[in-house]
A and B are shown apart, each in its own frame.
Chain A
Amino acid sequence: MMRYAKLGGAALVAIVVPGCASAPGDERSAAEAAAALHASFRPAGQVGLERLDQDDTQRACSAASGKPPPREVAAKIEAANLATVRYPADGKLIGDWKNGEKIAQDGRGKQFSDDPAGPVGGNCYACHQLAKSELAFGTIGPSLYRYLERRGNTVETQRYTFAKIYNSEAFAACSNMPRFGYKGILSEQQIKDVAALLLDPASPVNQ
């Protein structure tokens, strides 16, 4: 199999995909697909061709073709990604929910059409229900309305919430949710602000 691994930041423990039951024809299609992919894109704006190169998590999840990965692969993906989580040095996990709401609404950032100088949003509403007043929410992810009431405002919840936004694959292998911290999409402060949107009692999410 062709490898295009190029890991940024913390190196991941290699995730071996044991016997993913691929027929020889399937292997060939995968190789052809990788070749087609690299011949079919050109760099634009802030986006270079390295975006096509997969890390181990992306490769393992692609091989699963939309199905859940085998249990042992999932466990490895989660462990490797959990190891990447960098908690804030100041120990504060909760920021400003008002800023968090703006980040949750904003879908810009990292596209070749976007200004590389930002802003970059989290686009949480694309997939999740959050504040009740926003009718245009997606359903790819679960509703997070009244998150605080359901999870309780404990230190454990705060740590989980920060880490889930930082690297979703740490808790759910092959999640559809981006790894906002690990992949450098959102800053630490932005993650704190989104965590506040979920956990601040004054946040509209909890009204």
Chain B
Amino acid sequence: MKSGGAGAVYAALSAAGWLKAAGADAQSPERWNKDAFESHALADARKALGAEAAQSGEIAFVQTPEIAENGAVVPIGVTSSIPGTDSIAILIEKNPNPLAAVFDIPAGTEAAITTRVKMAQTSNVYALARAGGRYYVATKEIKVTLGGCGG
């Protein structure tokens, strides 16, 4: 890995003791919030993220359709207009594991990310943004439809 800067940061965080190694590779400096990602309920995932108490905030779903033609690929764009946003998380209430992704946003990076997620069924999608140590939330229902001829 050439990303020396990032590695150094992770190493420091890892030393702080609240990071977990990814996969079986003990050398891996990356952190992955196992408790949050393996939670089966939305409330548990939010608790594991430390985001139980979140107030509504200026978070927008951008380029996120209300109906997905296929649940395997659902485009999600989240933009936070809350100053100082340093983390954005995407949760899908009715997925077997609601937490889909957490993005850390360093200073200088726009608090706006676009990705694609799987949705097992029609569900509310939650976008959490962290700013100044506090969490903000927005939600949107996305309908997942069936397609094709072969069922």
A residues in contact (CB < 8 Å) with B? 105-108, 111, 113, 121, 123, 125-126, 135-136
Contacts and interface: CB of A to CB of B under 8 A. Distances in A.
Contacts of A126: 148-149
B118 to A, nearest CB: 18
B150 A136 contact: no
A135 B145 contact: yes
Interface string B135-151: 00000000101111111
B67 A135 contact: yes
A125 B149 CA distance: 9
Contacts of A125: 146
B146 A136 contact: yes
B67 A123 contact: no
12 contacts: A105-B146, A105-B151, A106-B151, A107-B148, A107-B150, A107-B151, A108-B151, A113-B150, A126-B149, A135-B143, A136-B146, A136-B147
Cβ-closest 3 pairs across A and B: A107-B151, A136-B145, A108-B151
Nearest to A123: B151
Nearest to B150: A107
Contacts of A123: 149, 151
A107 B149 contact: yes
Residue in B67, B148, B150 whose Cβ sees the most chain A Cβ within 10 Å: B150
A5 to B, nearest CB: 27
Contacts, number: 23
Contacts of B149: 107, 123, 126
A18 B64 CA distance: 57
A108 B146 contact: no
A121 B147 contact: no
Nearest to B122: A135
* Residue of B67, B150, B151 most packed against chain A (CB within 10 A): B151
B67 A121 contact: no
Contact of A121 (B143, B148, B151): B151
Contacts of A111: 150
A185 to B, nearest CB: 13
Contacts of A121: 151
Q: In the complex, which of the residues A105, A113, A121, A135 has the most CB atoms of chain B within 10 Å of its own CB atom?
A: A135
Contacts of B143: 135
B4 to A, nearest CB: 50
Nearest to B151: A107
A108 B149 CA distance: 9
A171 B147 CA distance: 29
Given A106-B151, A126-B148, 9 more contacts: A105-B146, A107-B149, A107-B151, A108-B150, A111-B150, A121-B151, A123-B151, A125-B146, A135-B143
